[in-house]
Amino acid sequence: MMRRWVGRLPLLAGLAFLYLPMLVLVVYSFNESRLVTVWAGFSTKWYGELLRDRQILDGIWLSLRVAVLAATAATVLGTLAGLTLARFGAFRGRSVFGVMIAAPLVMPEVITGLSLLLLFVAMGQLFGWPAQRGTLTIWIAHVTFCTAYATVVIAARLGELDTAIEEAAMDLGATPARVFFAITLPVIAPALISAWLLAFTLSLDDLVITSFVTGPGASTLPIVVFSSVRLGVSPKINALATLMILAVFAGTLAAWWWAGRFGRGSRGRPRGSVE
């Protein structure tokens, strides 16, 4: 018994290191006092204050809108780039193309944000577009670095796909487009979902790059939160973080339940059966 607990001690210590600060944050989101480090009694008033804060609500809406659009565009571009890397072999410029795809993964965000800022300024001076920095420039910047992550996920799945299935379908008369939509796309669908969720999370959480390419009237949630905490952590931020933790927990629980149900259904289905 003692050996079992000693073996689990590093795991428990790691979980406590990760989740204990979140638990403290959740507890203090119900603090009556405006001072987040001084407990003055239980209260839910900061959740009401949060729902009446127009700046935070606008930041949430803008972040969600940009994240959904950026993740969708990054997944589409990542699929095309992944097909290029996995299906076209050693074409001329493949190494350069691969390096360009992987560069945003290792490039410091400050460098990426600054380079995009200079690009937008130069384009505005030469072509008059974009006229000002805002939602559009944020979306373009997010697509730029999210595409790299989506490409890595999708290309890895395409590399594991047995091309004999696609070749057999084409031998039976299927067009390349039919093969892609009927065979390739369903097989790589889990990778597409993973790439989309990864890009969505990265876009929703980005602060450094967004701070370079944003403009007046286009403040995402990370920028709003960062601007707020520089003047002192407000209990409203604790309430916001608690709601985000709850949303992530609910999404993770739903995904776990769905995966378990799907797995049981697959195991219980007779081999070779067709629905």
Q: Check pLDDT > 90 for residue 4.
A: no
Other beta carbons within 10 angstroms of residue 184's beta carbon come to 20
pTM of the model: 0.87
Q: Check pLDDT > 80 for residue 260.
A: no
Q: Check pLDDT > 70 for residue 107.
A: yes
Q: Which pLDDT belongs to residue 271? A: 42
Alpha helices in the chain (DSSP H): 2-28, 45-51, 54-87, 94-106, 109-127, 135-160, 163-171, 176-179, 185-187, 189-205, 208-213, 221-229, 235-268
Domain boundaries of the chain, sorted by first residue: 73-217
Within the chain, strands assigned E span none
Q: Which pLDDT belongs to residue 121? A: 93
Q: Give tens-digit pLDDT for 159-199.
A: 888 888 888 988 888 898 899 999 999 999 999 999 999 99
Task: Compute the average pLDDT of residues 60-78.
Answer: 96
Structure tokens at 28: 């203090």
Which of 36-45, 67-76, 176-185, 223-232 ranks highest by mean pLDDT?
67-76
Domain at 73-217, CATH homologous superfamily: MetI-like (1.10.3720.10)
Residues 6+ apart with CB under 8 A from 195: 74, 75, 78, 149, 150, 153, 154
Q: What is the mean pLDDT of the chain?
A: 88
Do 97 and 85 contact (CB within 8 A), yes or no? yes
Which region, left, alpha or beta, applies to residue 129 given φ > 0 means left and ψ of -120 to 50 means alpha?
beta
Per-residue CA distances from 230 to 32, 233, 234 (Å): 21, 7, 10
pLDDT band at 232 (very low <50, low <70, confident <90, very high): confident
Task: Compute the average pLDDT of residues 233-243.
Answer: 88
